[in-house]
Amino acid sequence: MHRWWDRYGFQATVTVAVISIAWLLKQSQTAVLTEAYYFLVSPLQSKQQLILEDRLSNARILELEQQVTELKQENQQFKQLINSDNTKKSSQVIAPIIGRSIQGWWNQVTLGKGSQDGIQPGFIVSGIGGVVGRVIQVTPHTSRVALISDPDSRVGAIVSRNRQFGFIQGKDSQTLVMRFFTKVSDLKPGDAIATSNLSNLYPPGLPIGTVKSVNFETSSVPEAEVELTAPIDVLEWVVVDAFKPKLNLSP
């Protein structure tokens, strides 16, 4: 052993020293490279994080602005309804529309008030501008309304100017069709149409709409296209009036 050390000891010592130094250099180099990597990448990561946070903040601001706009529109419609001539009776109930299906958009709506608020089947529902339908079903907290724009709806109507009688029928839109019981020649666009005393389900005198056009060639009696005065397609609030139908029939 002593002879081996005398012969190879110096060489072994140098080899160990070189390996140790190489290992230390490698570790130092790795640390330096790691530090350099984080030094270069950290600003990019911070910038990306700031961009992401900025986009999220902008999205949140836009969302809040849209919510404020929506609330302003709802509040404006509510104020118009409160200040209209439709809301002069203490027995009236003001109700929000809380349900409406895409397939039956022009057929029915659901109100956010029901029997506990005094609403009963047969009550009349109006919006800003005129009548929109009648209550057909109630629960303690909701009411279902059949709209006059429903194609199955028939409502007795009258031309306010010349007192000509007929009935209106919905057609899934903001316009209705009015058919007359007798031949009418004195009819023109702009004539006001209201519910008549011949209607079983509605009281007389409720505004319905105005004549948009007249077709005198459809049959022996003319047909008029009537545009609703109440914006049924964008209703959010309505007024519910007590009414007892004459019969459970239509029109």
Per-domain residue ranges of the chain: 1-83, 91-251
Q: Which residues pair with 223 in a beta bridge?
A: 179, 215
**DSSP, res 23:** H
Q: Which of 142, 44, 47 is nearest to 95 (CA)?
A: 142
- H helices of the chain, in order, are 2-83
The angle formed by the CA atoms of residues 117, 135 and 156, to the nearest 5 degrees, is 140
Q: How many residues does the structure list for the chain?
A: 251
Decide if 229 contacts 67 (C-beta within 8 A): no
CA distance linking residue 235 with residue 228, whole number of Å: 12
Q: Which CATH architecture has domain 91-251?
A: Beta Barrel (2.40)
Relative to beta strand 93-99, strand 165-170 is: unpaired
CA distance linking residue 199 with residue 197, whole number of Å: 5
Digit-by-digit pLDDT tens for the chain (251 residues) are: 555 445 545 455 545 444 554 444 454 555 555 555 555 555 555 666 666 666 666 656 665 665 666 566 656 666 666 666 555 555 789 999 999 988 889 999 999 999 999 999 999 999 988 999 999 999 999 999 999 999 999 999 999 888 899 999 999 889 999 998 888 778 889 999 999 988 889 999 999 999 999 887 766 778 899 999 998 988 888 999 999 887 654 44
CA distance linking residue 211 with residue 190, whole number of Å: 5
Q: What is the pLDDT of residues 72-121, one digit of tens each?
A: 665 666 666 666 655 555 578 999 999 998 888 999 999 999 999 999 99
